[in-house]
Amino acid sequence: MKPLALSMVLSGLLLASGARAADADHVRASHAWIRVLPGALPAGAYVTLENDSDRPVALRGAGSTVYAEVMLHQSSRAGGMSRMTMVDALNVPAHGKAELAPAGYHLMLMQPKVTVKPGDTVTLTLQFGDGSTLTTDFVARPANALDAGDEHTDHAMPAMDHGAMPHGH
């Protein structure tokens, strides 16, 4: 956690809402990564969220000092076409988890103010429906990455047609 950056974000939220924002200490984030695409294409951000509390929480979006616009999206496939829709919130059940992953939910990062390269770290402030926030470091990975690359998992997908998906997430 970067106290300076967080306090800046919090003061922004305070100004915007008049409500008091708090750290979401009941939510844990892991496997946080970003798939960066060449040029000005938007990047997809993925993370696993675990909710330790007795009540559900809803991810509403995220803020970033690097990307001017962040939106919560869901990818789906229909008739061989990949499409994305904007969603208001992603529910994380009580004592459960939710995954943002390629071909599913993602945070879409648009309009970078600096060039983000694989290996860079980008801090996003995840925003929840109860007003709490969670500042998380996301590692930037190349366009052909399928996961955070921080574990040897058995769910590695076979080489799918990701290369044919123009928006890459």
What does the alpha-carbon distance between residue 40 and residue 137 come to, in Å, rounded to a whole number? 22
Nearer to Cu ion, 58 or 71 (CB): 71
Min CB(82)–Cu ion separation in Å: 10
By C-beta, is 104 or 131 nearer to Cu ion?
104
Which residues 10-49 are close enough to bind Cu ion by CB under 5 A? none
Alpha-carbon distance 86 to 107, whole Å?
A: 10
- Nearer CB in complex with Cu ion: 84/143: 84
Decide whether 6 or 165 has the Cβ nearer to Cu ion: 165
**Cβ-proximal residues to 156 (8 Å cutoff; 6+ apart), any chain:** 146, 147
Count of residues in the chain = 169
Mark 66-105 with x for binding to Cu ion (rule: CB under 5 A) and - for no binding. -------x----------x---------------------
Q: 100 to 129, contacts with Cu ion by CB under 5 A? A: 108
Give least dist CB 106 to Cu ion, A: 6
Dist CA 6 CA 81 (whole Å): 39
Size of the site for Cu ion (CB under 5 A): 3
Q: Are 56 and 128 in contact (CB under 8 A)?
A: no
Name the helix (H) or strand (E) containing 123.
Answer: strand 121-128
Binding site for Cu ion (CB under 5 A): 73, 84, 108
